[in-house]
């Protein structure tokens, strides 16, 4: 047997998001988010028409869920604030919402957990989306004011602030993939939104530090580490462009304070370059992050384009590459995602080598499985050995990266409990804790016991045959 220990102050935990757990969608004056609007307009596009309205009712049931967190030895926990709940009219704080967030953050702290909070997680209030969302520079002002309000109200209860979770995905869902209100498909607008989100991020960091708040501040970026089909020049160029337009568009300005030299010229090739001013670039340069959250689930594999876009065909970032289905890939057939732990190691080493070895932690990593009730054991618990194996193999790669000097401070599993997902609602379950959307019953899975022991031991054991 081989034991894989982690550093003494490594922090273990898991994560949820507010939109997928809070419920209480129509209480205390809460305003609508883009997902609630999307469901109102097109409920048939949601898996089994499962709405974001009720979900887990964390708003009322948080003591139950926090008891589970304590039971599972959590040292830290990541959640988010709903802008539409805290400031329903976009300007004024709802006192009941303020009290709710203060209560849950304080309760987590009293249970011995560090609290990591995301300020924006796919949940733009409709009142701002109808003004153009982040595509409208005036909305940036409103967002900076909202973030500053959160800092004033909650900074004493928060250990790490994350301005965004997966901002590129947020733009994809609304302006490229037609998977969320306002269901716009416009890559030029998408590119402007990406730039404006980077600018808004820098302005929030600037505001935070100007007002002498002292906690760490950054964002969570999803990284689908990319591999070319071959070492041929065209395949390599395709992979480099994928990285540029999918994750370097945030990593470079947030960590280095600048976009890559060829970022804007690449977008100009398909008439999608954003508009900005020299002052914008200076604000971005002066306000980089303290800490990076890394979400990793699966790699990207690309190849050179097999055909050029036809005249008049709409172009987006896929104009530069085709996806490559590598023979022999190991797949999570429920989710349709490749399982490749090596990519997590490669991602962490990239952060060390190319991004000043910024302080970071794994903010999401996990396995979603459909119809998990099929794996229920005689004791009534879901026997999710597949999830334990997934975590073991990924954490072995994390351990290797840490021993090789990556400035990694913790690991958060996705997710703490089965919850409502933006992509497939309750179809695929990720949790350590089972949640039944029909009965609202909860129960630990086998993986929960394994993870609790891992935290207690600050490491895990693998048989020699699996090393």
Active site residue 129: no
Instruction: Assign 28 a pLDDT band (cuts: 50, 70, 90).
Output: confident
Active site residue 338: no
Closest listed residue to residue 113, CA positions, set 67, 62, 70, 63: 70
Taking the domain 2-308+315-466, which CATH number applies?
A: 3.20.20.80
Taking CA atoms, 82 is separated from 29, 146, 193, 203, 313, in Å, by 13, 10, 20, 20, 38
Mean pLDDT of 451-467: 88
User: Of the listed 36, 338, 364, 372, which one is catalytic?
Assistant: 364
Q: Regarding predicted confidence, which is higher, 358 or 308?
A: 358
pLDDT, position 278: 98
pTM strictly above 0.95: yes
Taking each helix axis from N to C terminus, what angle separates 137-154 and 187-210, rounded to the nearest 10 degrees?
A: 40
Instruction: Assign 318 a pLDDT band (cuts: 50, 70, 90).
Output: very high
The 10s digit of each residue's pLDDT in 276-311 is 999 999 999 999 999 999 999 999 999 999 987 777
What residues contact residue 140 under an 8 Å CB cut-off, 6+ apart?
Answer: 134, 196, 199, 200, 203
95-99, 351-355, 423-427: lowest mean pLDDT where? 423-427
Q: How many CA atoms lie within 13 A of 266 on its CB side?
A: 23
Is residue 466 predicted with pLDDT exceeding 60?
A: no
Average pLDDT of the chain is 96
Task: Give the domain ranges of the chain.
Answer: 2-308+315-466
Q: Which two tokens stand for residue 311?
A: 């005249």
User: Of the listed 166, 240, 338, 372, which one is catalytic?
Assistant: 166
Is residue 60 predicted with pLDDT exceeding 90?
A: yes
């Amino acid at each position: 047997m081989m034991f894989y220990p982690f550093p003494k102050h490594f922090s273990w935990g898991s994560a949820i998001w507010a939109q997928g757990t809070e419920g209480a969608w129509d209480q205390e004056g809460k305003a609508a988010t883009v997902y609630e609007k999307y469901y109102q307009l097109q409920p048939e596009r949601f898996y089994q028409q499962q709405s974001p309205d009720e979900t887990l009712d964390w708003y009322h049931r948080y003591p139950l869920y926090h008891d589970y967190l304590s039971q599972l030895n959590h040292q830290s926990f990541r959640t988010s604030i709903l802008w539409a709940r805290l400031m329903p009219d976009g300007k004024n704080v709802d006192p009941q919402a303020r009290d709710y967030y203060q209560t849950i953050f304080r309760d987590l702290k009293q249970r011995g957990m560090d609290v990591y909070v995301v300020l924006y997680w796919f949940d733009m209030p409709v009142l701002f989306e109808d003004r153009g969302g982040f595509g409208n520079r005036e909305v940036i002002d409103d967002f900076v004011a909202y973030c500053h309000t959160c800092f004033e109200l909650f900074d004493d209860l928060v250990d790490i602030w994350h301005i965004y979770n997966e901002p590129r995905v947020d733009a994809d869902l609304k302006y490229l993939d037609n998977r969320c209100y306002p269901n716009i498909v416009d890559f030029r607008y998408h590119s402007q939104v990406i730039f404006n989100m980077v600018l808004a991020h820098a302005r929030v960091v600037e505001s935070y530090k100007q007002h002498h708040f002292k906690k760490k501040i950054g964002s969570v970026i999803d990284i689908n580490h990319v591999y070319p089909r071959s070492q041929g020049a065209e395949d390599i160029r395709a992979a480099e462009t994928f990285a540029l337009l999918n994750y370097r568009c945030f990593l470079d300005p947030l960590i280095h304070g600048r976009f890559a030299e060829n970022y804007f010229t690449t977008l100009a090739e398909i008439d999608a370059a954003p508009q900005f001013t020299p002052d914008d670039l200076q604000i971005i340069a002066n306000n980089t992050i303290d800490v990076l959250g890394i979400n990793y689930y699966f790699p990207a594999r690309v190849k050179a384009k097999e055909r050029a876009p036809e005249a008049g065909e709409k172009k987006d970032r896929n104009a530069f590459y085709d996806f490559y289905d590598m023979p022999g890939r190991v797949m999570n057939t429920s989710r349709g995602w490749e399982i490749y732990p090596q990519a997590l190691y490669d991602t962490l080493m990239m952060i060390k080598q190319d991004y000043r070895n910024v302080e970071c932690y794994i903010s999401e990593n996990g396995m979603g499985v459909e119809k998990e009730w099929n794996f229920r054991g005689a004791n009534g618990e879901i026997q999710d050995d597949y999830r334990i194996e997934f975590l073991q193999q990924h954490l072995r790669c994390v351990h290797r990266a840490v021993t090789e000097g990556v400035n990694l401070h913790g690991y958060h599993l996705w997710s703490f409990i089965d919850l409502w997902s933006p992509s497939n609602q309750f179809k695929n379950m990720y949790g350590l804790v089972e949640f039944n959307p029909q009965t609202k019953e909860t129960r630990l899975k086998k993986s929960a016991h394994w993870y609790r022991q891992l935290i207690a031991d600050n490491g895990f054991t693998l048989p020699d045959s699996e090393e």
